[in-house]
Chains A and B, each alone.
Chain A
Amino acid sequence: MTGERPRPLLWRLVRGFAMFWWDFLIGDTPELFIAALVTIGVVAALSHLWHLNGVAVIALPALATAALGLSVRRALRSERRPK
């Protein structure tokens, strides 16, 4: 007996839902989540503030590619680190 009262069903459902989205979007790659937000911010600025559609066309896939490369590099670094 731990003496802990079981949580209400609604609380468990909400927590499970939040945990699912956390794992789905962030999980063990928070850098990809942050990179996607930065990409959206940069492209929004290029497109809406400075009206540079041509630059936005190149910047969006370029930033996504850079994010992927950096995330793979991060995985390599953590592999190299002594455990």
Chain B
Amino acid sequence: MIGAVTGSTGVVVLVGAVFLACAVEMVEALTIVLAVGHTRGWRSAFEGTAVALVVLAALVAVFGPAMVRVPLSVLRLVVGGVLLIFGMQWLRKAILRSSGFKAMHDEDAIYRAKVAELESAGATQRDRIAFVMAFKGVFLEGLEVVITVLTLGTSAHRLGLASTVAAIAVVLVGIVGVVVAKQLSNVPENAMKMGVGVLLVSYGTFWTGEGLRVRWPGNDVMLVGFVVLYVAVTWTLVAYLKHERRTREVAA
């Protein structure tokens, strides 16, 4: 009974982390593909996207089974360390944005900038620029998805589940993105980023400890404890930074 509870806790956190991380990256990739498609035509945009997806799928096919063969304690230590760094980077950025110390990630502005860049470039017969931009956008954002799926999936021995959740997130955001077209700025990206940051740091802490053979009280249930802890830390830091910002504005 206890094993089932601890196991399902890990699965819920895994699903949440993979889904949110993939959705955020998909929003960013979709912004670039939409900018390319609307400006230079959909053929090159789709070709660039398709080639990037094939390369990403090949990376998962090659590195997925290879990572499963790595000893679990080593894998969890490396993955835990990577997730700890990656999660803290996301969380730091989301905290600074939420408190107004860093500009929000504006998908509309990024879209406009990409359109201007594409319009200024001359057209060629097979529109290499559009292809490369769509490819790079999808590949680079997708690479982060691949790393998230491989690290979370293999460490939890649930690579199939992680891949399925990632695919669902990508398809869902894709459908929503196509339906709302240029309104991707309405997606609460910073709140999602903050959620992903909390989940990645929680998993990073948990697996770094597992890799170093730390015995967590309550096993997987400790993950929930970490989520609560990091939510509280994030909330405190945002509140402190907002106070600091108001103080500076009054002083100025």
By a beta-carbon cutoff of 8 Å, the part of chain A in contact with chain B is 20, 24-25, 27, 29, 32-33, 35-37, 39-40, 43-44, 47-48, 53, 56-57, 60-61, 64-65, 67-69, 71-72, 75-76, 79
B143 at the interface (CB under 8 A from A): yes
| B33 smallest CB distance to A (angstroms) | 20
B8 at the interface (CB under 8 A from A): no
Residues of B within 8 A of A61 (CB): 205, 226, 229-230
Residues of A within 8 A of B214 (CB): 43, 47, 53, 56-57, 60
A76 and B92: CB pair below 8 A? no
**Of the candidates A20, A32, A43, A53, which one forms a contact with B89 in the assembled complex, judged by CB atoms under 8 Å apart?**
A32
**Of the candidates A20, A25, A35, A43, which one forms a contact with B212 in the assembled complex, judged by CB atoms under 8 Å apart?**
A43
Closest to B96 in A: A75
Q: Beyond the given A36-B85, A47-B212, A53-B214, could you list 15 further A-B residue pairs with CB under 8 A, ordered by the A residue number?
A: A24-B86, A25-B85, A29-B89, A32-B88, A32-B89, A37-B81, A40-B212, A43-B214, A48-B212, A48-B213, A60-B209, A65-B230, A75-B102, A76-B101, A79-B101
| B116 smallest CB distance to A (angstroms) | 24
Residues of A within 8 A of B140 (CB): 20
| B54 smallest CB distance to A (angstroms) | 17
By a beta-carbon cutoff of 8 Å, the part of chain B in contact with chain A is 77, 81-82, 84-86, 88-89, 91-92, 95-96, 101-102, 140, 143-144, 147, 201, 204-205, 208-209, 212-217, 226, 229-230, 233, 237, 241, 244
Closest to B211 in A: A40
B209 and A56: CB pair below 8 A? yes
In the complex, the number of residue pairs spanning A and B with C-beta atoms less than 8 Å apart equals: 89
CA separation between A76 and B96, bound complex, in Å? 9
B217 and A57: CB pair below 8 A? yes
Closest to A55 in B: B214
| B76 smallest CB distance to A (angstroms) | 12
Residues of B within 8 A of A24 (CB): 86, 144, 147
- Supposing A43-B209, A47-B214, A60-B208 touch, asked if A29 and B92 sit within 8 A by C-beta, the answer is yes
Chain B binding surface SS class = helix
Closest to A79 in B: B101
CA separation between A32 and B204, bound complex, in Å? 13
Closest to A43 in B: B212
Closest to A45 in B: B212
CA separation between A39 and B144, bound complex, in Å? 24
CA separation between A64 and B95, bound complex, in Å? 15
A72 and B92: CB pair below 8 A? yes
CA separation between A79 and B101, bound complex, in Å? 8
Residues of A within 8 A of B88 (CB): 29, 32, 35-36, 64, 67-68, 71
Residues of B within 8 A of A69 (CB): 233, 237
| A74 smallest CB distance to B (angstroms) | 9
CA separation between A53 and B77, bound complex, in Å? 16
| B100 smallest CB distance to A (angstroms) | 11
A53 and B92: CB pair below 8 A? no
